[in-house]
Amino acid sequence: MADEEAMMAEWEAMAEEGDAEDDAGSADGGGASDGGGSEGGGGSTRVLDQSEIDSLLGVAGAGDDDGDESGIQAILNSALVSYERLPMLEVVFDRLVRMMSTSLRNFTSDNVEVSLDNITSARFGDHMNSIPLPAMLSVFKAEEWDNYGLMTVDSALIYSIVDVLLGGRRGTAAMRIEGRPYTTIERNLVERMVHVVLADLSAAFDPLSPVTFRFDRLETNPRFATIARPANAVIVVTLRVDMEDRGGLIELLIPYATLEPVRELLLQMFMGEKFGRDSIWEGHLTAELWQTDVTIDAVLDQVELPLGQVLEWIEGSQLELNCTPNSKVELRCGDVPMFRGRMGRRGGHIAVQVNDKIVREGES
C-alpha cells in the first residue's frame, strides 16, 4: 500500500509539472511560445480513466444495452460481413446432410455420419487465406445460375477416404504423409466423392429451384481456385464427415452473386410462402364478379362527321347509316367490343343473335 501511494503521488507531481510547463509556454510569445509548447507537450500526457479505455476498446459498460460497436472493436469487425438471413438455405443444407449420409454410406460401404457444423458469411479473400493447407479445392458451376462455387476437402478427410476406399483396416487412424503432393489415385478418389456430393447438392435444391452443379476442376493451390473478387461476400457451409474414428471436413463456399437468381426464394420462411395474398378473398371476389349486372349496347353503325355539320342539324334532319338488314350488329360493354350478331325480332322485342366473339389484342 505504501508503494502504491508513493507511485500515485509521483504521478500527480508529474502531471502538475506538465500543467505548469503548459501555462509557461502559453504565457511566452513568438518562438519562445512554440518551443515551450513542444517541450510541454511530452510531459502533459493525461491518464485515461476506465470509462474512456472501455470506449476506446469498444467494450460496452454494464448499463449499455444498445449493442453498438465502437473504437478498436468496430475497426476489427469492419472486415466481417453481416450474414443475411436466408431461412430456406438452412433447410436446403439440412436436406443435403440427410442425403449425404445415405449416399456416402453407399459410396464407402462404411458407417458414415454427416453433420452440419455451421453456416457463416465472410469475405472471399479472407476465407481463402484461412484454408489450412494441404487441401483439395473443387470448383463447380451452377449451370442454371451461370456462376461458380467452391468445395474444399481437408487433408484429414482426403486420407480417410483413400484409406476406406482402398481397404484400410477399421479402428486405425489414417496415416498422413506431409511434404508431398497428392497422387493421381488420391485425386481421382476425391473427385469421385466430389461428384457424389454435387449430385446430392443438386437434389437438395430441386424442391426450391432446379439447378445442376457440374464439376469443373480440382485444384490444390487456392490461388488457382479464385472464383470471385477478394472483397466479395460469400456463404461458407461447414460439413463434418465422420467414419467411426476417421473423417474430416467439407466446406462449401457459395458467393452471394451465385445465389442472386434464387434470392427471393431463399428469403421465404417456408416453402411456397406468398406475402399479402388471400386465396379465400380472391375466390369470393371472383364469384361476385361473375354475378355482376353489366349493360350491353347494340351498335348498328358508327359515323364520323365534322362538328360544323353536326351544329347545322335541325329537327327533321336525317342521318344515313351504312348498314343493311343483313349487317352484323356489334355488342359493346362500355367502350369494349364484346360480340357480333344479327338483329331480329323475338316475341315483339328487338333482339340480337350472337354469332361470334370479338378477340382483343393480347387475349389468347
Per-residue confidence (pLDDT) for residue 38, from 0 to 100: 44
> What residues in the chain have per-residue pLDDT under 50?
27, 29-42, 62-67
pLDDT at 195: 93
Q: Determine the pLDDT at residue 32.
A: 44
In a domain, residue 226? The reply is: yes
Looking at the structure, tell me whether residues 133 and 209 fall in a common domain.
yes
Three-state secondary structure call for residue 283: helix
Q: Which of 28, 54, 79 is the last residue of a domain?
A: 79
Rounded to whole angstroms, how far apart are CA atoms 101 and 239?
11
Note whether 130 and 194 are same-domain residues. Answer: yes
pTM here?
0.54
**pLDDT score of 62:** 41
d(CA 301, CA 309): 18
Same domain? For 32 and 98 the reply is no
Which residue, 266, 308, 252, is CA-closest to 117? 252
- Provide the 8-state DSSP code for 86: -
34-69 core/surface letters (b: 16 or more CB in 10 A; e: else): eebbeebeeebeeeeeeeeebeeebbeeeeeeeeee
Q: What is the pLDDT of residue 34?
A: 46
- Asked if residue 315 belongs to a domain, the reply is yes
C-alpha to C-alpha distances, 288 to 277, 280, 293, 294, 336, nearest whole angstrom: 18, 13, 10, 13, 21
Q: Are residues 221 and 117 both part of a single domain?
A: yes
How many C-beta atoms surround the C-beta of residue 266 within 10 A?
20
Q: Given 55, 79, 103, which residue is the final one in a domain?
A: 79
List of residues 6+ apart from 345 with CB closer than 8 A: 351
Give the count of domains, the chain. 3
Please tell me whether residues 103 and 144 are part of one structural domain: yes
Provide the pLDDT for residue 6. Answer: 75
With respect to residue 287, please indicate whether it lies within any of the assigned structural domains. no
Cis peptide before 134, with omega less than 30 degrees from 0?
yes
Query: Which of 33, 49, 79 represents a domain boundary (last residue)?
Result: 79
Determine the pLDDT at residue 83: 52
| Per-residue model confidence (pLDDT) at position 155 | 85
362 domain-assigned: no
125 and 184, same domain (yes or no): yes
Please indicate, yes or no, whether residues 26 and 166 belong to a single structural domain of this protein. no
Q: 281 lies in a domain?
A: no
Position 271 in a domain = no
Query: What's the confidence (pLDDT) of residue 39?
Result: 45
Q: Are 216 and 247 within one domain?
A: yes
- Whether 178 and 96 share a structural domain: yes
Give yes or no: residues 218 and 318 share one domain. Answer: no
Domain carrying residue 315? 293-357
User: Do the Cβ atoms of 158 and 182 come closer than 8 Å?
Assistant: yes
CATH at 348: 2.30.330.10
Distance in angstroms (rounded) separating the CA atoms of residues 333 and 297: 6
The C-alpha atoms of residue 229 and residue 126 are separated, in whole angstroms, by: 11
Q: How high is the pLDDT of residue 194?
A: 92
What confidence score (pLDDT) does residue 319 get?
A: 83
Is residue 210 located within the same domain as residue 151? Answer: yes
Q: For residues 118 and 238, is the Cβ–Cβ distance under 8 A?
A: yes
- CA 209, CA 144: separation in Å to the nearest integer? 9
Q: What is the pLDDT of residues 77-136, one digit of tens each?
A: 555 555 557 778 888 888 999 999 999 888 888 888 888 888 888 888 888 888 887 888
User: Over the Cα atoms of the chain, what is R_g?
Assistant: 40
The CATH number given to whatever domain includes residue 160 is 3.40.1550.10
Inside any domain, residue 364 = no
State the CB neighbour count (10 A cutoff) for residue 172. 10
Q: Looking at the structure, do residues 259 and 301 belong to the same domain, yes or no?
A: no
Distance (Å, rounded) from C-alpha 154 to C-alpha 171?
Answer: 21
